Structure 1
């Protein structure tokens, strides 16, 4: 009687480890993907925090906002001339 239970248990473990759609290999792959996505989440959360900090700095100082607009969007005052210097690669 005990031998039947042992054989059934071994067969069940073999079935779970290889034939089931939730087998050990797919669980390992899914866990790897989850870890990768968690790393990406942490990276993007850091980027969001950095961007919010920059936004607060820009909105708190008109001088910084003007500098940002001039550098990023090439804005200028009406009585100014703008010269763009680029480096050749």
Structure 2
């Protein structure tokens, strides 16, 4: 029994089926616009869209912080919390918990 008479290879004797099969394989794997490349690009697009959402949330958070800094109370609160500034005749005590302190093991 020759290789051309095998049951599985019988449909491939037709030139149109053979060309179609080669075309499909070429388009799925080897072409510049192949399915593999499209899949990679779609994965990249999804990652970039999630990154975009993250940055939009950060922008909203920063805009709220800017609004708070535009009034005097918000500016004073920021100066006290971040730079430990104080009013005249006022004492500030900074309380740090053990788990927030840096130790030699953390470095």
Q: Would the TM-score normalized by the shorter structure come out above 0.5? A: yes
2:92 aligns to what?
A: 82
How far did 1:51 drift?
1.1
How far did 1:65 drift?
0.8
Give the one of 61, 64, 75 matched to 2:74: 64
State the TM-score, normalizing by the size of structure 2.
0.67
Gaps of 5+ in 2: 1-13, 100-107
- Structure with more contact order per residue of length (Cα contacts < 8 Å, sep ≥ 6): 1
State the TM-score, normalizing by the size of structure 1.
0.77
* Number of residue pairs the alignment of both structures matches: 86
How well do the aligned residues superpose, as a CA RMSD in angstroms? 1.9
Provide runs of 4+ in structure 1 moved above 6 Å. Answer: none
- Where is the helix percentage greater, Structure 1 or Structure 2? 1
Gaps of 5+ in 1: none
2:66 aligns to what?
A: 55
